[in-house]
Chain A
């Protein structure tokens, strides 16, 4: 019935010797990397979180920032989507709201690269201990 093409195509990628396929060395400590979590629930996706995440991953790579960019479920800030949580090594996590591509760019340049906080931070809700 069908021609499953992907195997042949994958071999083509391999043969073209795409360099730098494996950029992460094994045993690299996540604690020393910038960790970014992008909320990817229905509200986030509908607000453009996918584009935000793709932009952040590509921009960090281009600008030489070593980071782990991953998606998480709903963080609860549906009114402020897209939201991202940024944890710089040695700092507490910070959640930013309204992170479109322009905002993401600002966060990368000012906060991630410069340590300077920008507008749009969503404060942490402290829970009472019962």
Chain B
């Protein structure tokens, strides 16, 4: 995975598999530090403590097609390579939060990448789910959600290159304004 945006896409797939209908993706950059926290929160079926411990094991997976699940272990590895960490909090029946901290000044830190592409792909492919994106850098922030998009633009589905292009530009402009890359 060459960008953090791809990890986010990957982990967000787990949220869908867990039956979530609301996923919040947040990016926090604390003022005066070089730390970036990526947080993916869902309201899916959640995990028991044992499942949580197993989730980080690359040889544990709930899918039946293969016997490895590399998404979380790879994300953790990339975070730890920069001196950060990944934590999972979950409650059965409530949901899960995956939190990864990266030191963006570390030479091994991957770029955030195409976050807008990830967001649009997720929201257009999973219209039954509410997708929320929140980016905070210092005391400036930007947020967008699929219900907001649908209401403001009076659309049912997020598709068509004109709409997705405009939304991607919106997100990218805001990320640039916040200095998040």
Contacts and interface: CB of A to CB of B under 8 A. Distances in A.
Given A7-B152, A41-B13, A21 B170 contact: no
Interface residues of B, number: 44
Interface of A: 1-7, 9-11, 13-14, 16, 18-24, 26, 40-43, 45-46, 50, 53-54, 57-58, 61-62, 69-71, 73-76, 78
Given A2-B141, A14-B153, 5 more contacts: A2-B139, A7-B148, A14-B152, A18-B163, A22-B157
B118 interface: yes
- Residue from the set A22, A42, A61 with the largest chain B CB neighbour count within 10 Å: A42
The dominant DSSP class at the B interface is helix
CB-based closest 3 A-B pairs: A76-B65, A2-B141, A10-B152
Interface of B: 1, 6, 9-10, 13, 17, 63, 65-66, 69-71, 74, 114, 117-118, 121, 125, 136, 139-144, 148-149, 152-157, 159-163, 166-167, 170, 173-174, 177
Given A2-B139, A10-B152, A42-B74, A20 B174 contact: no
A10 B155 contact: no
Contacts of B71: 41-42
A66 B100 CA distance: 39
A70 B128 CA distance: 13
Nearest to B137: A2
A22 B140 contact: no
